[in-house]
Amino acid sequence: MNVDSRFDILLQPIEIGPVTARNRFYQVPHCTGMGYRDPTALAHMRGVKAEGGWAVVCTEQVEFHWTSEITPFIELRLWDDRDIPMLARMADHVHAHGALAGLELCYNGAHAPNFYSREVPLAPTGLPVASFSYEPVQARSMDKQDIRNVRRWHRAAALRARQAGYDLIYVYAGHGLSFLHHFLSREFNHRTDEYGGSLENRVRLLKELLIDTREAVGDTCAVPCRLSMDELRGGVGLEKAETEDMIGLVAEIPDLWDVCLASWENDSMPSRFGEEGGQEPYIDGVKKLTTKPVVGVGRYTSPDRMASVIRKGIVDLIGCARPSIADPFLPRKVEEGRVEDIRECIGCNICVSGDFTMSPIRCTQNPTMGEEWRRGWHPERIRPKESDKPVLVVGAGPAGLEAAQALGKRGYEVTLAEQATELGGRVAKECRLPGLAAWGRVRDWRVEQLHKLPNVSVYLDSRLDAEAVLEFGCPRVVVATGSRWRGDGVGRHWTTPVPTGDGAQVLTPDDIMEDRLPQGRRVVVWDDDHYYMASVMAELLAEKGFDTTYITPASEASTWSRNTMEQHFAQARMLEKGIRIQAFRTLSRIAPGAVALSCVHTGREEELEADAVLLATSRTPSDELATALARLRERWSDAGLEAVDAIGDALAPATIAHAVYAGRRYAEELDGPEVIGDAVPFKRELAELI
């Protein structure tokens, strides 16, 4: 073991109330989109993090009573004793690898529409439910009996959590997602009794729950308190000074302070809009208020930065959600002096999209995330090769790079051929766009791994056509040749080309990324992609001085990026850069010097002067190589060619996460067992009928 002494501080144990964390790496609670639907998959995923060295591994929010549940989102539940085994499974997996298991008890209250239980939501003050959508549901104000009830339910849940084996049992007051946050906030708490008004009164219920929980389980379990320091709403909502005063009132009651920002999008700030350690100004100072350990997050991936925030006395433990998803073995790699092997989170928030789309968590950097049990994949291990047949991978984008490095680790002889003079494919280009520099880590980690694999040969500046592939004579060929943005406007709204007059100037994101800028001053960006590309293009064009108008048929810019919590920031940035946003409009015709737009509701047309149009609609797979090889099939056996598989964008364009996953899947499945018949190729957990 080659421990770098700079990082000693990260490896020191620390007491948290009655339990001891083995080091300073703390996986804070984070949602997974798996929850009560996929408890075994979840248990295995958390277990892999414990194996990777995290000292504490927490659940997502655990709804502790049926009067507060956030259907359709899939979290964990601890409503009665029957939920204990599901939660115990996760604790067991975490304990099996020597980590502490933490459980975040949650009562969403005014954030929970209760669509499943159909109970009337409870809140400090009866206000509309503040969920992610505008649900037509209001909460009712809690009376004293309701408060007594919730205290009793919380206590019962804490006892059940202990029975399930958990070592840390949270009192959760963060993110604007907990009823305790609402009690603390003047905005949500309009009460005139002893639970409203003054700071002491608004903190009262938090204090009572902290004491209740300590009395119930505090002899053997730590009781952390999770609180948001600031809501970043400029004068509205909780702000640091007031939150510090609140902490001061209960500073010594919890065993640990887990401090974050609200709302969730500020807390899990995408890298496009915020840097590593962005929360430090808000959490700095908490340690002066309490003798109890403090944990805070900040998408920390650099061990130097982590050690420095502890040394500076800002936190005692490094809280991570996303860095632990991208690299479940981050602590082990620090411990073993292998920091260059850390698979750094890129801050894309695709992991968050799992929760928002109610699908199992996935990660751009770590394709094994969520697949630990379903497919038996492991972030650090892959089974050895099962044949000596070499593999040719054509294209070194995310799909090709991942396939090459994973096949290389299996021990196959791999040749990776890339037509460009640099590796990375779309990632190499996109990471030069405004705000996307961190995305280059998708390439960087894989290139670093390839350097260590003598059995993988990499050739740049090597465009291969079908003849060249046949001549190369490799039995397995992976076509990972990517895709190109379409220039005809075909996408979601229009599935046939947008009528375009002769002489009109039409560009695509590929043009811009290849430094072909529009002629003239006025540019219209048509977004029928709805993820990040059109807004990034608009931002880039505005920065270069073009008078930019952004058109979308949706109600807002980059609407899918709500799922990555980037939407609000993207729209704000566009407005700040002077980009005009026209929602509910379609691009119906393109002519030289002008475009026709129509209202998606009325069809009414208007004309807009434009020197050029940038179309971000959809992409065409660059599958010429695969198609040409298919046409030459009769020559395969003479050339020693057995199989050609297109993967990633070359098969069907999607996210970078999809491409990395496709590369991994190819590598995992090569020479694997034959899929029998139409069998489902992954494990799933089925409900047991009562």
Residues that bind ligand ADP (CB under 6 A): 394-400, 417-420, 425-426, 463-464, 480-483, 622, 625, 648-650, 659
Sign of the torsion angle spanned by Cα atoms 41, 42, 43, 49? positive
Sign of the torsion angle spanned by Cα atoms 571, 573, 575, 580? negative
* Pair type for strands 594-599 and 585-591: antiparallel
Nearer residue to ligand SF4 within complex by CB, 17 or 367: 367
Nearer residue to ligand ADP within complex by CB, 334 or 399: 399
Min. distance of Cβ 425 from ligand ADP in angstroms? 2
| 438 makes contact with ligand SF4 (CB under 6 A) | no
Min. distance of Cβ 553 from ligand SF4 in angstroms? 27
Letters for 264-303 (x = contact with ligand SF4 by CB under 6 A, - = none) are ----------------------------------------
Task: Say which entry of ligand ADP, ligand SF4, none residue 222 contacts (CB below 5 to 8 A, set by partner kind).
Answer: none
Nearer residue to ligand SF4 within complex by CB, 358 or 583: 358
Nearer residue to ligand ADP within complex by CB, 277 or 395: 395
Nearest by Cα to 40 from 532, 371, 502, 437: 371
Determine which residue in the list 178, 279, 349, 548 makes contact with ligand SF4, applying CB under 6 A.
349
Euclidean distance between CA atoms 7 and 37, whole angstroms:
39
- Write the Ramachandran bin of 685: left for phi over 0, alpha for psi from -120 to 50, otherwise beta: beta
Task: Say which entry of ligand SF4, ligand ADP, none residue 262 contacts (CB below 5 to 8 A, set by partner kind).
Answer: none
| 481 makes contact with ligand SF4 (CB under 6 A) | no
Cα distances (angstroms) measured from residue 226 to each of 169, 206, 311, 436, 437: 11, 11, 22, 31, 31
Euclidean distance between CA atoms 472 and 635, whole angstroms:
13
Stretch that binds ligand SF4, among 133-141, 214-222, 318-326, 527-535 (CB under 6 A): 318-326
Stretch that binds ligand SF4, among 206-214, 362-370, 457-465, 609-617 (CB under 6 A): 362-370
Task: Say which entry of ligand SF4, ligand ADP, none residue 417 contacts (CB below 5 to 8 A, set by partner kind).
Answer: ligand ADP
Question: CA angle 309-311-315, nearest 5°?
Answer: 50
Number of residues that bind ligand SF4 (CB under 6 A): 13
- HEC secondary structure over 641-661: CCEEEECHHHCCCCCHHHHHH
Min. distance of Cβ 215 from ligand SF4 in angstroms? 37
Nearer residue to ligand ADP within complex by CB, 405 or 481: 481
Q: Which of residues 123-142 bind ligand SF4 (CB under 6 A)?
A: none
Q: Return the structure tokens found at 87.
A: 């939660």
Amino acid identity for residue 33 in this structure: G
Euclidean distance between CA atoms 473 and 477, whole angstroms:
10
Task: Say which entry of ligand SF4, ligand ADP, none residue 650 contacts (CB below 5 to 8 A, set by partner kind).
Answer: ligand ADP
| 345 makes contact with ligand SF4 (CB under 6 A) | yes
Determine which residue in the list 363, 403, 524, 615 makes contact with ligand SF4, applying CB under 6 A.
363
Task: Say which entry of ligand SF4, ligand ADP, none residue 346 contacts (CB below 5 to 8 A, set by partner kind).
Answer: ligand SF4
Determine which residue in the list 147, 351, 464, 477 makes contact with ligand SF4, applying CB under 6 A.
351
Question: How many residues are present in the chain?
Answer: 690
Q: Return the structure tokens found at 686.
A: 């089925």
Bridge partners, residue 168, by sequence = 102, 222
Nearer residue to ligand SF4 within complex by CB, 349 or 481: 349
Q: Please state, as a whole number, how many other Cβ atoms lie within 10 Å of the Cβ of residue 604.
A: 8
Nearest by Cα to 434 from 295, 323, 577, 594: 577
Nearest by Cα to 510 from 490, 533, 493, 531: 533
Nearer residue to ligand ADP within complex by CB, 240 or 426: 426
Min. distance of Cβ 656 from ligand SF4 in angstroms? 9
Amino acid identity for residue 213 in this structure: T
234 burial class (0-12, 13-18, 19+ CB within 10 angstroms)? exposed
Nearer residue to ligand SF4 within complex by CB, 363 or 540: 363
Task: Say which entry of ligand ADP, ligand SF4, none residue 561 contacts (CB below 5 to 8 A, set by partner kind).
Answer: none
Nearer residue to ligand ADP within complex by CB, 295 or 480: 480
Task: Say which entry of ligand SF4, ligand ADP, none residue 482 contacts (CB below 5 to 8 A, set by partner kind).
Answer: ligand ADP
Stretch that binds ligand SF4, among 70-78, 130-138, 319-327, 494-502 (CB under 6 A): 319-327
Nearest by Cα to 32 from 78, 64, 72, 76: 76
Min. distance of Cβ 241 from ligand ADP in angstroms? 47
Determine which residue in the list 11, 150, 221, 350 makes contact with ligand SF4, applying CB under 6 A.
350
| 325 makes contact with ligand SF4 (CB under 6 A) | yes
Nearer residue to ligand SF4 within complex by CB, 364 or 449: 364
Min. distance of Cβ 434 from ligand SF4 in angstroms? 18
Euclidean distance between CA atoms 448 and 456, whole angstroms:
12
Q: Are 525 and 611 in contact (CB under 8 A)?
A: no
Task: Say which entry of ligand ADP, ligand SF4, none residue 395 contacts (CB below 5 to 8 A, set by partner kind).
Answer: ligand ADP
Task: Say which entry of ligand SF4, ligand ADP, none residue 51 contacts (CB below 5 to 8 A, set by partner kind).
Answer: none
Euclidean distance between CA atoms 41 and 374, whole angstroms:
6
Nearest by Cα to 481 from 566, 379, 400, 561: 400
Euclidean distance between CA atoms 249 and 270, whole angstroms:
33
Amino acid identity for residue 227 in this structure: L
Question: CA angle 216-67-102, nearest 5°?
Answer: 40
Sheet bearing 585-591, strands edge to edge: 585-591, 594-599, 605-609
Determine which residue in the list 346, 480, 565, 647 makes contact with ligand SF4, applying CB under 6 A.
346
Sign of the torsion angle spanned by Cα atoms 461, 466, 470, 473? positive
Letters for 364-403 (x = contact with ligand SF4 by CB under 6 A, - = none) are xx--------------------------------------
Beta strand spans in 348-442 (E): 391-394, 414-417
| Cα 610 from chain centroid (whole Å) | 37
Residue in the block written with tokens 């602590």:
331
Euclidean distance between CA atoms 232 and 569, whole angstroms:
13
Is 129 strand, coil or helix? Answer: coil
Min. distance of Cβ 92 from ligand SF4 in angstroms? 25
**Catalytic sites, residue numbers:** 31, 172, 175, 267
| 322 makes contact with ligand SF4 (CB under 6 A) | yes
Nearer residue to ligand ADP within complex by CB, 203 or 657: 657
Stretch that binds ligand SF4, among 358-366, 463-471, 492-500, 618-626 (CB under 6 A): 358-366
* Pair type for strands 391-394 and 317-320: unpaired
Cα distances (angstroms) measured from residue 148 to each of 108, 208, 254, 401, 632: 17, 10, 21, 57, 76
Determine which residue in the list 176, 347, 360, 653 makes contact with ligand SF4, applying CB under 6 A.
347
Nearer residue to ligand SF4 within complex by CB, 276 or 623: 276
Stretch that binds ligand SF4, among 133-141, 311-319, 344-352, 638-646 (CB under 6 A): 344-352
Task: Say which entry of ligand ADP, ligand SF4, none residue 365 contacts (CB below 5 to 8 A, set by partner kind).
Answer: ligand SF4
Task: Say which entry of ligand ADP, ligand SF4, none residue 351 contacts (CB below 5 to 8 A, set by partner kind).
Answer: ligand SF4
The per-residue b/e assignment along 298-308, b for 16 or more CB within 10 angstroms, e otherwise, is bbbbebeebbe
Q: Which residues bind ligand SF4 (CB under 6 A)?
A: 322, 325-326, 345-351, 363-365
